[in-house]
């Protein structure tokens, strides 16, 4: 049962994150830029400067999350 719950939460997180990346990719990444190791901060700023790639990442996350949810619910029906 725990494995199904983890899959469900993962799918929900992926779908939600994917939608947020589609809506406001730059703002979403910049929200998480704070006191971190410098290389992480630079990577986040690089992503913020490439919103099209972030949107692509959002589409990918959305697709994987939906696929994971569909596979899980196929097994239960």
Please give the structure tokens belonging to residue 42: 């630079």
What's the domain count of the chain? 1
Distance CA 14, CA 7 (A): 10
44-to-12, 17, 55 alpha-carbon distances in Å: 23, 15, 14
Q: Distance of CA 72 to CAs 3, 17, 77, Å?
A: 10, 19, 9
Check residue 76 and give its pLDDT.
62
pLDDT tens digits along 33-53: 877 788 988 999 999 999 999
Domain that residue 52 falls in: 2-76
Q: What is the spatial distance between Cα 65 and Cα 67, in angstroms, rounded to a whole number? A: 5
User: Is 0.75 topped by the overall pTM?
Assistant: yes
């Amino acid at each position: 049962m725990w494995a199904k719950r983890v899959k469900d939460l993962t799918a929900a997180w992926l779908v939600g994150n994917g939608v947020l990346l589609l809506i406001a990719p730059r703002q979403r990444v910049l929200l998480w830029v704070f006191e971190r190791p410098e290389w992480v901060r630079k990577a986040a700023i690089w992503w913020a400067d490439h919103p099209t790639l972030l949107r692509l990442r959002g589409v990918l996350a959305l697709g994987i999350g939906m696929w994971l949810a569909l596979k899980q619910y196929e097994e239960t029906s």
